Structure 1
């Protein structure tokens, strides 16, 4: 019995075949592209707004639940605004019912985690956190905490319409935020949109 005929591929033919297979794989991947998943709604009291949390479907399928954005929905007009943090930040937490006024609206606080901080492209406890603010209609998104400083804790002061927060700077540049690094305290005045460092000073002498 004669062996089946086998024709070796010429370099150009092989290259064209590889290009065809690559294009076909890309098309198939595009057809299976995940759509954003809206799976949680929060009513903003005393406003017309409802906020939907947007998750990456690909991450949900892996059980990771990566929140990629917020959809601010005006239930009176039906209009919506989608808010995403600038790369490489990913939403880590939100505070949607804070008191105060920011650009004549209710403020929404967003904590963002820098996925690229420790160069593993995923958010974990060692990554830098930053403080962001936007309005209840999804306008005026800005980062409040200084760049490169890790958010430790924050509080809204309703009486003075101000955010007070603590950060930790990577002062020894070892890529970590620990007891060796310097703590800083700030006040962000929402009305003026002004950030003021707090002078912690030296301890007062005992009398």
Structure 2
């Protein structure tokens, strides 16, 4: 029994070491030829682009069509969100669309015209309608968390790349990046009393390709009433 326990311990230890080594071997940022990190990801021909049925946020006049991909390999289809056969590419909670989306398309209610949020390659994880801001100031805005660069240079955009922060109007227009290239967004929040969006990022200051305790946090805010959405830095500590 003791030999068996020892054997299991060795296997577990080896697995943990292997996982740790794999994490080190796969940094989130590769700085060699850093300017080439904005190259487009390779197109996976086994993927099929589909749209979910449209979503409308309460009190708005636009339909939002989530666009994602499903795999056409082997029998049937498989989505990123479900191991079983599925054609769904997104989920909708309270004023927030989530998923691994290639794009969003917008359509004003009562019109036939549908247009895309962006013509760039992105992987959108969340699109959050700022309902409280709309109620207070009549500003109808969406904040996005997404990957927009192949920072680890594996020729694809996914959760292993740096997460960035964007904003647009409810119509999908004025799609604007708020965070800085090569800084990972940690979190963000809205202060309703003055319509300020605050967010934090982490910068890989030691340039080891990973985000860790040796790196530096950066703090920013944006006045949402400002039509140019100027990003300001501040130092609370």
Q: TM-score, normalised by structure 2?
A: 0.62
Larger radius of gyration: 1
SS in 2 for 1:36: strand
Q: Are positions 1:52 and 2:68 aligned together?
A: no
Unaligned runs of 5+ in 2: 1-44, 81-88, 90-99
SS in 2 for 1:140: coil
Partners of 1:52 and 1:161 in 2: how far apart? 27
Q: CA deviation digits over 1:165-194, x for unaligned, max 9?
A: 010001111111121110111101122212
Partners of 2:190 and 2:119 in 1: how far apart? 21
Structure 1 stretch displaced more, 59-68 or 117-126: 59-68
Pairs within 5 Å for 1:1-207: 36-58=49-71, 61-64=77-80, 65=89, 66-84=100-118, 86-87=120-121, 89-100=122-133, 105-114=139-148, 116-192=150-226, 193-201=229-237
Q: How many residues align?
A: 168
Q: Is the 8 A contact 1:98 1:156 kept in 2?
A: no
Partners of 2:212 and 2:160 in 1: how far apart? 10
Unaligned runs of 5+ in 1: 1-31, 202-207
SS in 2 for 1:187: strand
Q: CA RMSD in A?
A: 2.7
Partners of 2:54 and 2:166 in 1: how far apart? 20
SS in 2 for 1:100: helix
